[in-house]
Amino acid sequence: MPLEIPTPDGVLELFRDEIVVRQVENDGECGAIAKAQGGAAWDRPYPGVETLTPPGGPGLMRVTFRVLLNPGSANEGDRIRHELRQLRNDIRAAIPSDCQVEFDSPGMTHVDRPDGIEIQCYTHGIVRTP
């Protein structure tokens, strides 16, 4: 039985299910905080995870997941879900244990390549202390 390769929309749904657990509408709050920091460099503690910690305010996080969907590859849904769970663990490791991240609605882009479709899912959020 061949393995099922998800569609680009299917990858976005997996990303939403595994990464964007606490989705909120932050009404541009992330952008305003980032803009106030000017050209401050974002830390990249893990692949696909970027953080910015401004003094005296909530932190920011950007998350990106890339996968090449290719009928000849092993990118079945279970494998992608496993990679997303590892990314979720990296997100948890990148923030203090007493904090949580509220992510904005995720987005997706894709590029047709000769060897398949490259999917990039992304979101950003605010790291808050409860």
Query: Who contacts 69 (Cβ-Cβ below 8 Å, separation ≥6)?
Result: 5, 6, 8, 11, 75, 116, 117, 118, 119
What residues does 122 pair with on adjacent strands?
Answer: 64, 107
The per-residue pLDDT for range 67-119, each reduced to its tens digit, is: 988 876 655 788 899 999 999 999 999 999 999 899 999 999 999 999 889 99
Residues 6+ apart with CB under 8 A from 7: none
Q: What angle do CA 81, 120, 14 make, to 5 degrees?
A: 25
Note the pLDDT of residue 79: 86
Cβ neighbours of 54 (radius 10 Å): 13
30: its two tokens: 């992330």
Residue 31's nearest CA partner among 56, 55, 15, 52 is 52
Overall pTM > 0.95: no
Question: Domain residues of the chain, as ranges?
Answer: 8-128
Other Cβ atoms within 10 Å of 122 Cβ, number? 17
Q: Locate tokens 């905080």: which residue?
A: 33
Closest-CA residue to 100 (of 64, 44, 42, 58): 58
> Lowest-confidence range among 3-7, 39-43, 84-88, 113-117?
3-7
